Structures are given as structure tokens and as C-alpha cells.
């Protein structure tokens, strides 16, 4: 097994313990979340639980394993939310949206009693948004207007293009995804507020207060916890 796989599996295995005693579970999107689901299934840890998904991809994984997901329309609060991240800094602040599911991911994270995020050590960074741009979801009709507004803020932005078809990436909730590079030395909390204030923006991939626990897996099979206090 490759070192990266060892690190990811270590973090996923550690996260499984948080399923105990929790019945209504939210699940994020991506390879690490899929690994979490499959490991939990193998151990019978999802049996009898209600599962809420953030994307059609995650719903399809559950269907393959014989589970039905609960429609988020019927949910007010989750017992647990489990997901991964594209980047996490040493304070537990995160960048997400590589899988274009950021709106549902933030929605479920905001309405969960406990939020656990699982990453391998390659996702741990000293500063967010150096490796990756910030995903921003916008209303399709607002695309060009939001791009213009972002330019006025001093940001660089471009629609994310699909690999499988021509045109912008479309999320499960019908928004277009824009990838945004913030102005140099811009405070991310302040920039996130500016982004959310733009008419036409649905959600922003800066998850600065959405983690209670981040579990980091390492190549030697060890794990480390980063814990945040809710603001």
C-alpha cells in the first residue's frame, strides 16, 4: 500500500469511532468520504442509521451498497457530519469544493451537532489558498456579472470547465462553479464575507468555522487531531 493510502486509511479508520451512538449522519463528497463509507459498511457501522448525502456521487455509492439516503428537505439537524477537505491549515480552517458540492456540504456541516473532517497529511498546509483557488458557486444567470464584481475586488476568477462536456461545471444544486484567486495578502475571513455579499453568489468554498474535529492521517499510520471551538 502506498504511503498516501496508508495515511488516508489511518484517518478514516479513526473517524469510524464517531459513528457510535449517532443515528442521523451527513456524508460529504469525494474519494476520502467514499472510503469512509465503504469501511463503515464493511464493519456494519451504517446499519440502521439514516444517511443524508451532499451529492449524487455519494448517493450512488450508498445505493451500490444497499442504502437509501434521506432527503435533506426532511432534516433540521444532523447528529454527525463526516467529510474531507482540499486544504486544512494548522488552525483547522478549510478550503473545500474540489468536487463541486460545496453548497450542500456547508449546509449539512452548519446543521450538524458534530462535524468531523478526515484528511491525509498532504492536505495539511501552513496557509490556505496557495495551492488551490477558492471555489465559488454562482447562479448561472449571474455568471458574467459575478466575474465582473470579482475583478473589481482585485481577484482573479474563471469558470471551472468540465472534463466530460463543454461548458462550466454544474453542481448538484444547479449552480456554476467559479475558481477564484484572492488578492495577495487579503484576510480570508474578510474576503469570504465580501464574496458572500455579492448578488448571485450561492456559496463559497472557504470553510473557516465548519470543523469541530479534523483528523489528519500520516504515512506512518499515526493520526493527529486538530480541534476547533465553535464561534
Residues that are catalytic: 105
Give the three-state DSSP class for 61.
Answer: helix
Phi then psi for 39, rounded to 5 degrees?
-65, -40
Residues 6 or more apart whose Cβ sits within 8 Å of residue 88: 94, 95, 117, 119, 123, 124, 125, 211, 214, 216, 226
CB 85 within 8 A of CB 96: yes
The helix (H) or strand (E) run that includes residue 80 is strand 80-83
Amino acid at each position: 500500500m502506498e504511503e498516501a493510502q496508508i495515511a488516508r486509511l489511518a484517518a478514516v479508520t479513526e473517524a469510524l469511532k464517531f459513528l457510535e451512538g449517532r443515528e442521523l449522519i451527513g456524508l460529504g463528497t469525494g474519494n476520502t468520504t467514499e472510503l469512509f463509507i465503504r469501511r463503515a459498511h464493511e464493519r456494519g457501522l451504517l446499519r440502521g442509521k439514516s444517511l443524508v448525502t451532499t451529492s449524487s456521487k455519494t448517493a450512488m455509492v450508498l445505493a451500490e451498497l444497499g442504502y437509501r439516503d434521506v432527503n435533506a428537505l426532511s432534516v433540521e439537524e444532523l447528529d454527525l457530519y463526516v467529510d474531507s477537505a482540499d486544504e486544512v491549515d494548522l488552525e483547522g480552517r478549510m478550503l473545500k469544493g474540489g468536487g463541486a458540492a460545496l453548497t450542500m456540504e456547508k449546509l449539512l456541516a452548519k446543521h450538524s451537532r458534530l462535524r468531523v473532517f478526515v484528511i491525509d497529511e498532504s492536505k495539511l498546509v501552513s496557509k490556505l489558498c496557495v495551492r488551490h483557488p477558492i471555489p465559488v458557486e454562482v447562479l448561472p444567470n449571474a455568471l458574467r456579472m459575478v466575474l465582473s464584481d470579482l475583478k473589481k475586488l482585485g481577484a482573479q476568477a474563471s469558470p471551472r470547465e468540465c472534463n466530460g462536456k463543454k461548458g462550466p461545471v454544474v453542481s448538484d444544486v444547479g449552480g456554476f462553479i467559479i475558481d477564484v484567486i484572492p488578492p495577495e495578502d487579503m484576510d480570508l475571513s474578510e474576503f469570504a464575507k465580501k464574496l458572500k455579499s455579492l448578488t448571485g453568489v450561492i456559496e463559497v468554498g472557504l470553510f473557516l468555522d465548519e470543523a469541530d474535529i479534523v483528523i489528519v492521517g500520516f504515512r506512518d499510520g499515526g493520526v493527529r487531531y486538530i480541534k476547533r471551538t465553535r464561534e
